[in-house]
Structure 1
Amino acid sequence: MSTLRESFTDQAVVCKHCKSFFRVAGSVNVSEKCPECGGELDAAGAFNLMFQTRIGVPKGDSDSNSGVKKSEGYLRPETAQGIFLNFQRLLRFNRGKLPFGIIQIGKAYRNEISPRKSLIRLREFTMGEAEVFVDPREKNNHPRFEDVKDRMLRLVLGEGEGGGEEEEKSVGEAVRSGIIVNEYLGYHIAKVGEFLERIGIPRDKLRFRQHLREEMAHYARDCWDAEFLSERYGWMEIVGVADRGDYDLSAHASFSNADMSVHAQADAQGEAEPAKLIPHVIEPSYGIDRIFYALLESSLYEEQVGKEKRKVLRLKSEMAPIKAAVFPLLNRDELKKKAREVFQKLRDASIFVEYDDSGSIGRRYRRQDEIGTPYCITIDYETLEDDTVTIRERDTMKQVRVAIAEVKDVLVKG
């Protein structure tokens, strides 16, 4: 815990006048003025980001619990450490074989110096992390690397020739040239890019930036950030992909005397030495809140339709929380009854739909446009005659007539 505590720090400056603290990215520069009052800044040094707490009831705090020993504790600053602590159990689940990966989504907590920028910098946030344990001898032999080697990435190199410059390369070329240190890291960088584009973040707003030596995490052998170009905040990190080496398992083994080694299997060349080894870890770490923000910013549009402005959240169909909305054209009992029947039929088919009969049909369309609902289904008097409905597509606003029996298939195919 002491190593983890010492590593989770940020540089800070303090205003000599109003005493406000501010986080500093990179080297400390006190020549700038306080953004709050314009006062002179002073270096405050390293600021620990881990939230400290006490476990148990301190002695004397309660008559009924007097004598209970208090112990120091910390809220977790990342989700990964619980996975490392349980490594041997997880290894048994995988029958003692490498590689294997564990995925965890949960809350993490950091005592941020100056939380700001909406969902970008929070003290409580959601992370999705995968810890992929690999034989260090096999890091350049990923079994599915061929699937991603031709994927093109926008890369910003950290150090050396070309450092700081942006260039486009295939994953395979980046690994062959040593820009990305091994196939396992390259594979997961490629899959991060594929995922972000698949959910709806535009390719031209994504890049992968290699960490500079001075910003590299204490555990990392190499680290790349997937960055999103925000109209409000500029380039911002939304996913980190790191080669953590054997740092975590070796550190836990050193402090706890637990055996974190794996019996070596023969490698690709048939060599099984050494008899035991410490696995290396490749870690994609997703900032769920930041990805959510990036998706919303990328999807929200405003356009002129006639004399009014239409706000549209152009989420992909598979990302929309509500798949469709069902409306009666008019607030008439017979139309409302039929609309309720269609609504319930779709709910029974496990399609998340919403029913709305409040206000004009135009206002109902606009409400659904703003929350990203891809389809609106309208029940009218023609529906009562031939069991057909109107389906309106959100982005184009085009409408088609479809039989009620076919509505489910239309929505599923999306």
Structure 2
Amino acid sequence: MSEVLSKVLDLAKRRGIFWPSYEIYGGVAGFYDIGPIGTKIKNKIVELWRKYFIKDNSDFVVEIETPIIGPSKVFEASGHVESFTDPIVECNSCKRIYRADHLIEDILKKSVEGLKPEELTRIIKENNIRCPSCGGELGEVRLFNLLFSTNIGPYTGNLGYLRPETAQGMFTAFKRVYEVSRQKLPIGIAQVGRVARNEISPRQGLIRMREFTIMEIEFFIDPEDKDDIPLFKFSDYKLNILTAEDKLKNGKPREFKVDEIVKERIVIHPWMAYWMAVAAKFVRALGIDNFYFEEKLPHERAHYSKQTFDQIVIIGDIRVEISGHAYRGDYDLSRHMQYSGQDQTIFRKYSEPKIVKKKTLVINNTKLRDKELRKKIMELINNKKIEEIETMIKANLTIDNQPLSEFVSIIEREEKVHGEHIIPHVIEPSFGVERALFLTILNAYREKEGRTILSLPKYLSPYDVAVFPLLEREELIKKAREIRDSLSVKYDVLYDEVGSIGRRYARADEIGVPFAITVDPQSLLDNTVTIRDRDSWRQIRVNIDSIDVTLEKLFRGEDLNKIGIEVKNEDEQ
């Protein structure tokens, strides 16, 4: 697969899909430019994601946009300042720095994800793992924070960070979105945006980058509400899942129906199964069929997660995570409520009012006319829970040799309650756009008779159709341009009149254009053109007046032979 990977990277550069950024200065690891062809494909992937995750779920998902830079306080609350770290190890001789877990995995061929620094240090020492560059001894493993820091405004000390995910903007905007969405749960907040992570060892092209685009949803739910979840959409849908239990036994992924995942409690909440099924449909729409969901073990999960499934794509001998699905519980809203002092709860209304017993603190003001005594008692009970004060009373606590019970008491009353305040829980499906682009390209790569074909799904191709004049003759060029202009109203058209027709076909194949229309001398005689299929190289001859109808049939998936008369393509011989 390394040979294929090398060919894909070469194709990406030659055909304007992607290439390393700042090449004229030697490049910077982890940064990539997305070229004109890559941008077209990337934008179509993003729109496809919007269709599956937002448009198809418009009853309960909305999209917003939030800033790339946030104040330090936001990322202190989120836990990233403290916990967004990766382990690094430095060579004592040449001072090169490596990501410790990746280095161990590359050499020992076993996963050590999530192990503590001291455990990684022990493994390095026990297995005598040396510096790959100079063979020197490696030092102690330590943690490195992946946040990019910046200064907000001209004043020093106004620390900010580039967001490592789009999530925090959605959490801090939750109450606003909830208010404008008629105060109902569930509510999904979607965002597509740039993020930055100061990766230690970016590698494999677009797989691990320092700046990239994320597509994710923060889906806010009432954890006790498990009704009206539209799992019927996936009644016959099956997912391959490697559960944590099977993983510990070195087992393999097993096939489950979506409702089985819920019934067997493989997921914490049914909505997890729903969004995993949506993710499966989306990845299949990218043309990728070989994937499974792997449950992360407790030590492998992010600091905010109570359960995580990674969606793993398999292409040849490459296994890459294309999406992550985390049950974040109430971690995020609770933390932001704690750090900001702003209420992030919502009111859960009961179907019927409940009669509940409530304990209330009563202060005997008639016995607290002495200001000093009153001050002492107020300081004692301030910020304490009812239960704590009750315990002090029962323990016969005294103030100035007088029992506390003389001044305060706890009484129990019945109240009619119409609901309660809760902190919503969050489920997060998250995709990296460039990673999805890379895996889509890698999966679509084909070779046929020494030539390259990018067999993309038709709706992801950078151009819908190519139009070529067979020869550089004025009358053929004029007719080809007329067809190009006519089709451009409805289709994204690639027009090319330079070079041999074989080379133009090859260029179109290499960027994944599904159909090519060629105007030849016969076109001037009988008003017909050829339409060539990218993958089979077969051609049919159709009337110019019926090109639009013919393309509609081809994009619906109808067979080429049933649409027009197949002709021999001399230029492919």
Same fold per superposition (TM over 0.5) = yes
How high is the TM-score relative to the length of structure 2?
A: 0.66
1:301 and 2:446 matched: yes
Give the secondary-structure state (helix, strand or coil) at the position aligned to 1:200: coil
C-alpha distance in 1 between matches for 2:487 and 2:153: 51
Q: Relative to 1, partners in 2 of residues 1:251 and 1:291: Cα closer, same or farther, differing over 3 Å?
A: same
Give how far 1:164 is off. Answer: 4.2
Q: How does 1:258-297 map to 2 (within 5 A)?
A: 258-266=342-350, 274-297=419-442
Q: Which residue number corresponds to residue 128 of structure 1? A: 215
1:219 aligned to 284, 287, 304, which one? 304
Give how far 1:38 is off. Answer: 2.3
2:466 aligned to 299, 308, 325, which one? 325
C-alpha distance in 1 between matches for 2:523 and 2:468: 12
Contact 1:16 1:39 in 2 (8 A): yes
Deviation per CA, 1:149-206: give whole Å up to 9, x if none: 43111111124786542212112112211112221000001110110001211x2x21
1:151 and 2:291 matched: no
Contact 1:158 1:213 in 2 (8 A): no
Contact 1:156 1:164 in 2 (8 A): no
How high is the TM-score relative to the length of structure 1?
A: 0.90
Which of structures 1 and 2 has the bigger CA Rg?
2
Contact 2:353 2:419 in 1 (8 A): no
C-alpha distance in 1 between matches for 2:421 and 2:168: 22
Give how far 1:412 is off. Answer: 3.7
Q: Which residue number corresponds to residue 344 of structure 1? A: 485
Q: Which residue number corresponds to residue 250 of structure 1? A: 334
C-alpha distance in 1 between matches for 2:246 and 2:504: 57
Contact 1:52 1:75 in 2 (8 A): yes
Give how far 1:214 is off. Answer: 0.3
Q: Which residue number corresponds to residue 53 of structure 1? A: 150
Contact 1:223 1:243 in 2 (8 A): yes
Give how far 1:303 is off. Answer: 1.8
Deviation per CA, 1:50-90: give whole Å up to 9, x if none: 01111222xxxxxxxxxx45411111111010011111110
Q: How does 1:6-405 map to 2 (within 5 A)?
A: 6-25=82-101, 26=113, 27=115, 28=120, 29-30=123-124, 31=127, 32-57=129-154, 68-138=155-225, 140-159=226-245, 163-166=249-252, 167-201=254-288, 203=289, 205-231=290-316, 234-266=318-350, 274-304=419-449, 309-349=450-490, 351-405=491-545
Give the secondary-structure state (helix, strand or coil) at the position aligned to 1:35: coil
Structure ranking higher in helix proportion:
2
The letter of the residue matching 2:162 is: L
Give the secondary-structure state (helix, strand or coil) at the position aligned to 2:488: helix
Q: Which residue number corresponds to residue 376 of structure 2? A: none
Q: Structure 1 stretches (4+) deviating beyond 6 angstroms?
A: 269-273
Bigger RCO of structures 1 and 2 (CA < 8 A, at least 6 apart) = 2
Structure 2: 5+ residue runs without aligned partners? 1-74, 102-112, 355-416, 556-573
Worse-superposed segment, 271-280 or 318-327 = 271-280
Give how far 1:102 is off. Answer: 1.4
Contact 2:229 2:270 in 1 (8 A): no
Give the secondary-structure state (helix, strand or coil) at the position aligned to 2:282: helix
C-alpha distance in 1 between matches for 2:353 and 2:99: 51
Give how far 1:330 is off. Answer: 1.1
The letter of the residue matching 2:445 is: L
Give the secondary-structure state (helix, strand or coil) at the position aligned to 2:224: helix
C-alpha distance in 2 between matches for 1:22 and 1:266: 55
Give how far 1:410 is off. Answer: 2.9
1:409 aligned to 520, 532, 549, which one? 549
C-alpha distance in 2 between matches for 1:408 and 1:24: 57
Paired positions, count: 394
Q: Percent identity?
A: 41
C-alpha distance in 2 between matches for 1:196 and 1:20: 38
